Amino acid sequence: MSEPALVALRKASFSYEDGPPVLSGLDFEVREGRTLALLGRNGSGKTTLMRLLSGGLRPDAGELTLRGRPVAYDRKGLTRLRTTVQLVVQDPDDQLFAASVAQDVSFGPLNLGLPDAEVRARVDEALTALDIGHLADRPTHLLSYGQRKRTAIAGAVAMRPEVLVLDEPTAGLDPDGRERLLATLGGLCEGGTTVVMATHDVDLALLWADDAALLTPDGVRTGPASAMLARTDLLHRAGLRLPWGIAVERLLRARGLVSGAAAGPRTPEELAALAHAHADGPGPAPTAGA
């Protein structure tokens, strides 16, 4: 039998007070060591699902499990959940509240009652991971949006969670900031953190995630990102479009330029290399963006 999922929702339903059901009978699993992108249209319930996973909301029916065991919503159970799963909300201003970056990032570890030296070590580690060590003493209200996002993520990383759940972490970042954040998250994954990300960006999901979960009105469907993000029917139901990489791969397959089990190019650079390999006669290598 396979290992139980690190964290999972089983037949979970949730409605906000007096509202219609947002999620009904939902089965959702986060598998250890796999990066997972959660996608769906505005209002489909991504944020709600993430808050259920991190214990901020409690399902009306069904259950949340940690390594197969149901989570108890008492003090002990919730502490165990919060040291395992950390949520970073979409808007950093909903998360940051302390006067300085270092104070904000130290809040979680201090709250766990850890000794000062351990708290300092975790704060340093988190600031370094997010590349914001130079901002440690900066007042949070003077930070740029991207810096506030990184600070919010550092606060979660300082808890050394097994699962880091990020609600649209790249929204509002410039292209370089986005690349740097994805590299940082890649580093955390290599270090053993399981990362779950809600995003509307199908191209990012295809490039970055091992698995993709699509929230549709019929529930959530999860599988390998390259297969799920090629499902035009599901994408349509989830209010999404075909990723660039899949569209290009289809075109190239139709022309016989990609065949067999090989995946198509996923970046402009890979497309340029493929075009160069198939170019007639000698010539300079085409460069992306040229």
Ligand X SMILES: Nc1ncnc2c1ncn2[C@@H]1O[C@H](COP(=O)(O)OP(=O)(O)OP(=O)(O)O)[C@@H](O)[C@H]1O
Question: Footprint of Mg ion on this chain (CB under 5 A)?
Answer: 46-47
* Part in contact with ligand X (CB under 6 A); list of ranges 46-54, 57-65, 94-102, 265-273: 46-54
Q: What is the C-alpha separation between 98 and 96, in angstroms, rounded? A: 6
Q: Which is nearer to Mg ion, 168 or 249 (CB)?
A: 168
Backbone angles phi, psi at 223, to 5 degrees: -175, -175
How many CB atoms are closer than 10 A to CB 144? 11
CB of residue 20 vs ligand X: minimum separation in angstroms? 8
Choose the contact partner of 237 out of ligand X, Mg ion, none; CB within 5 to 8 A by kind. none
Choose the contact partner of 226 out of ligand X, Mg ion, none; CB within 5 to 8 A by kind. none
Residue 140 neighbours by CB under 8 Å, 6+ apart: 96, 97, 98, 99, 100, 101, 104, 148, 151
Q: Which is nearer to ligand X, 186 or 217 (CB)?
A: 217
Q: Which is nearer to ligand X, 20 or 289 (CB)?
A: 20
Q: Which two tokens stand for residue 178?
A: 């986005």
Q: In what order do the strands lie in the sheet with 85-88?
A: 85-88, 163-167, 194-198, 36-39, 211-216, 219-224
Choose the contact partner of 48 out of ligand X, Mg ion, none; CB within 5 to 8 A by kind. ligand X
CB of residue 261 vs ligand X: minimum separation in angstroms? 34
Tokens 């970055």 sit at which residue? 208
Residue 257 neighbours by CB under 8 Å, 6+ apart: 274, 278
Q: Which is nearer to Mg ion, 198 or 246 (CB)?
A: 198
**Can residue 43 be called a binding residue for ligand X (CB under 6 A)?**
yes
Q: Which is nearer to Mg ion, 149 or 160 (CB)?
A: 149
**Can residue 175 be called a binding residue for ligand X (CB under 6 A)?**
no
Comparing every residue's Cβ against Mg ion, the nearest one is 47
**Can residue 47 be called a binding residue for ligand X (CB under 6 A)?**
yes
Site string for ligand X, 188-207 (x = CB under 6 A): --------------------
CB of residue 87 vs Mg ion: minimum separation in angstroms? 12
The interaxial angle of helices 101-111 and 116-129, nearest 10 deg, is 130
How many CB atoms are closer than 10 A to CB 95? 19
CB of residue 187 vs ligand X: minimum separation in angstroms? 26
* Part in contact with ligand X (CB under 6 A); list of ranges 45-53, 55-63, 71-79, 256-264: 45-53
Residue in 42, 115, 117, 281 binding ligand X, rule: CB under 6 A: 42
**Residue 55 near residue 86, CB atoms below 8 Å:** no
* Part in contact with ligand X (CB under 6 A); list of ranges 36-44, 58-66, 246-254, 278-286: 36-44
Residue 256 neighbours by CB under 8 Å, 6+ apart: none
Q: Which is nearer to Mg ion, 47 or 199 (CB)?
A: 47
Residue 147 Cα distances to 95, 97, 188, 209, angstroms? 13, 14, 18, 24
Secondary structure of residue 214 in the 3-state scheme? strand
Q: Which of residues 48-107 bind ligand X (CB under 6 A)?
A: 48
